[in-house]
Amino acid sequence: MQDKELLSGRLVVVTADITVMAVEAIVNAANSSLMGGGGVDGAIHRAGGPAILAECRQIRSTLYAQGLPAGDAVATCGGRLKAKYVIHTVGPVWHG
């Protein structure tokens, strides 16, 4: 694991497997469906187990029926992850 401290230690950049980090929260580059997918999003859902997916389904059914808009974020439990929470956010689609 490689760490780089910035801003007098207020920000730490780490190169590691996000699914095994024992931290308060991790940030997931999710898709708007919140149902998992490929890459890191899929890895987080697989490692975290059904609790994350259940909370994502609840969020979709109660708050974001059309999907999570780009720029918004929601938090779920970490499920089986060592992280306590997962912050799911959808980035913009780049057409350039």
What values do phi and psi take at 86, rounded to 5?
Answer: -120, 125
User: How far is residue 12's CA from residue 62's CA, in Å, rounded to a whole number?
Assistant: 35
Say if CB 53 and CB 86 are below 8 A apart.
no
Q: Is 3 designated active site?
A: no
Choosing from 3, 17, 41, 72, the catalytic residue is 41
Q: Give catalytic residues, as residue numbers.
A: 41
